[in-house]
């Protein structure tokens, strides 16, 4: 039934996506909500929250302010926070309740900026869209507001920007570091990862980069904007697997001429797997990259990607599937005779009961939150091949093992 979720939890919402991008940027981030939305982000969508000290707050919205449209209270609270905490910018984000009131965040941001003297970003999030949309909006806002091609050249300009990396999609910070290692192996030294270890000032000279590397759907819009405005080419994908990572490094070495990573179908027959048909459920760029690994390292040609999240048509193969509702998962896994499925452990409960194939657990924080975010999977580079090889052989991936087990 449309809208009914019996097995899956809701995905991380749009405001969590915005917060994930801004978490390390050094600003004051305010979710205009009554408290629950902020608690949802800090407790369940942000693995860095426990060890970090990012200034993410709830506005503490109450009924009277909502009904009467009393925004002065919010402005007063923000002003006090700015005085108490020295930060570089402010971001104001929406949640479901103020959406009903039709809160004008852009107007609020202009007033806040005027009163505090700090650049203020406005995000019209409403908790109904998903995190990927929030992340995409946040990356774009950073590009449009903070890139300055006329900034002093004394600032260090990056050679390559990585856009789209947040824990919601990439998992542990260790994997993001391994992506950097892959890029360094390709010969780059000055690498800027938007949202991870970068502050707002680091975005200023992003337009001087030779290449943008897009590691999730949420970075695509920004990459295309920067390609059009600053003529920076982009590559889409994550180096997962042995051969795929080498190919990936070749591509980024030849920066400039490549607009997007083609769907690689080179296979190595010596490693040919006995598995013929695979479904990957998850974020599109991550799933495409796993597909590349399965094709190049294991010779599996029939690999479909399915996602409840936004899918870009250019990155989509003919048989890839956009899942509109939970029931769709049961339908496609009943019809397509997959021999193996790769996805977050929580998807297992929503599969067709007739599915008897293997299931490789690949947690996605945007779905399963902290249930698995401490499960440290080494999937970047050669580690990706080793991981999938081991999982394909592991008895725990077989139907007899995973079926019917409690989450």
Partner 1 sequence: MNGQVFSLPITEVGECDLKGSPKLSPQNYMHYCSPGSGGWGIIRVALLVPESVMLFVSPAACGRHGAIAGFHLGFKKRLFFLQISENDVVTGQHLDKITLATAEILNSVKPKPRAMIICSTCIDDLLGSDYDTISTRIAKDYDIAVRLCRMDPITRERKTAPEFSVQQAIYDFIPHSTTSDSGVNIVGCFAPIEEDSEFYEVLCRAGINKIRHIAACSSLEELYSMGCSTHNILLKPAGRLAAQDMERKLGLPFCFEPVVYGMDNITGAYSRLEQFLEVKLDTERFREEVLGEIRYYQRRLGQISIAVGESINASPFELARALSEYGFAVPYIFADQLLDFDQEHLRWLQINRPNIRVFTNIHPTMVDILEEKLTVDLAIGLEAGYFCAGAKTVPLTLDSQPYGYRGVISLLRQMLDAVNNPRSHREQVYDSGLVI
Is there binding between residue 1 and partner 1 (CB under 8 A)? yes
Nearest CB to partner 1, comparing residues 127 and 219:
127
Is there binding between residue 12 and partner 1 (CB under 8 A)? yes
Nearest CB to partner 1, comparing residues 87 and 295:
87
User: Distances in Å between the alpha carbon of 345 and those of 16, 335, 352?
Assistant: 21, 21, 15
Reading the block at residue 40, the tokens are 């949802």
Nearest CB to partner 1, comparing residues 19 and 278:
19
Reading the block at residue 15, the tokens are 């405001």
Is there binding between residue 43 and partner 1 (CB under 8 A)? yes
User: Distances in Å between the alpha carbon of 1 and those of 197, 323, 354?
Assistant: 42, 13, 20
Among 54, 116, 204, 267, binds partner 1 (CB under 8 A): 54
Is there binding between residue 3 and partner 1 (CB under 8 A)? yes
One character per residue 322-361, x = contact with partner 1 (rule: CB under 8 A)? ------------------------x---------------
Q: Which residue has the tokens 């009467």?
A: 68
Asked whether 9 and 367 are in contact (CB, 8 A), the reply is yes
Q: Which residue has the tokens 């690994």?
A: 293
Site for partner 1 in 126-185 (CB under 8 A): 126-128, 130
Q: Look at strands 28-31 and 90-93 and give their pairing.
A: parallel
Is there binding between residue 40 and partner 1 (CB under 8 A)? yes
Q: 216 has which bridge partners?
A: none
Asked whether 288 and 262 are in contact (CB, 8 A), the reply is no
The CA distance from 288 to 250, in Å, is 18
Nearest CB to partner 1, comparing residues 12 and 180:
12
User: Distances in Å between the alpha carbon of 287 and those of 74, 185, 210, 306?
Assistant: 41, 23, 26, 8
Is there binding between residue 81 and partner 1 (CB under 8 A)? yes
Nearest CB to partner 1, comparing residues 73 and 277:
73
Minimum distance from CB of 83 to partner 1 (Å)? 8
Query: By three-state DSSP, how is residue 271 classified?
Result: helix
Rg, C-alpha atoms of the chain: 22
Minimum distance from CB of 209 to partner 1 (Å)? 31
Site for partner 1 in 367-406 (CB under 8 A): 368-371
Q: Which residue has the tokens 């007739």?
A: 354
Among 18, 22, 24, 49, binds partner 1 (CB under 8 A): 49
Q: In the complex, which residues of this chain contact partner 1 (CB under 8 A)?
A: 1-6, 9-16, 30, 33-40, 42-45, 49-50, 53-64, 66-67, 73, 76-78, 80-81, 84-87, 95-97, 99-101, 126-128, 130, 346, 368-371, 407
């Amino acid at each position: 039934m449309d809208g009914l979720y019996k097995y899956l939890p809701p995905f991380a919402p749009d405001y969590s996506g915005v917060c994930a991008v801004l978490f390390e940027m050094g600003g004051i981030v305010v979710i205009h909500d009554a408290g629950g939305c902020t608690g949802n982000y800090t407790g369940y969508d942000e693995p860095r929250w426990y060890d970090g000290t990012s200034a993410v707050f709830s506005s503490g919205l109450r009924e009277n302010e909502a009904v009467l449209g009393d925004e002065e209270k919010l402005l007063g609270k923000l002003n006090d926070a700015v005085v108490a905490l020295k930060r570089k910018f402010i971001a104001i984000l929406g949640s479901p309740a103020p959406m009903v009131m039709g809160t004008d965040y852009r107007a609020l941001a202009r007033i806040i900026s005027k009163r505090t003297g700090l650049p203020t970003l406005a995000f019209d999030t409403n908790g109904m869209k998903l995190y990927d949309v929030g992340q995409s909006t946040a990356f774009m806002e950073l590009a449009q507001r903070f890139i300055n091609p006329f900034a002093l050249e004394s600032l260090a300009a990056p050679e390559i920007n990585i856009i789209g990396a947040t824990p919601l999609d990439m998992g542990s910070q260790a994997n993001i570091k391994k992506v950097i290692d892959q890029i360094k192996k390709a010969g780059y030294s000055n690498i800027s990862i938007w949202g991870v270890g970068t502050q707002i000032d680091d975005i200023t000279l992003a337009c001087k980069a030779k290449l943008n590397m897009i590691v999730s759907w949420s970075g695509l819009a920004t990459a295309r904007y920067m390609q059009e405005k600053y003529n920076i080419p982009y590559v889409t994908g994550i180096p997962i697997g042995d051969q795929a990572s080498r190919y990936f490094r070749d591509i980024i070495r030849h920066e400039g001429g490549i607009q997007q990573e083609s769907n690689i179908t080179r296979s190595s027959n010596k490693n040919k797997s006995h598995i013929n048909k695979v479904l990957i459920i998850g974020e599109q760029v991550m799933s495409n990259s796993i597909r590349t690994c399965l094709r190049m390292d294991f010779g599996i040609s029939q690999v479909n990607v399915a996602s409840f999240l936004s899918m870009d048509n250019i990155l989509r193969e003919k048989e890839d599937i956009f899942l509109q509702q939970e029931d769709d998962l049961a339908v496609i896994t009943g019809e397509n005779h997959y021999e193996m499925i790769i996805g977050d452990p929580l998807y297992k409960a929503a599969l067709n009961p007739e599915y008897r194939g293997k299931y490789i657990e690949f947690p996605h924080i945007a779905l399963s939150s902290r249930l698995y975010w401490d499960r440290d999977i080494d999937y970047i580079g050669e580690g990706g091949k080793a991981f999938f090889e081991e999982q394909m052989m592991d008895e725990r991936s077989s139907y007899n093992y995973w079926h019917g087990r409690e989450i």
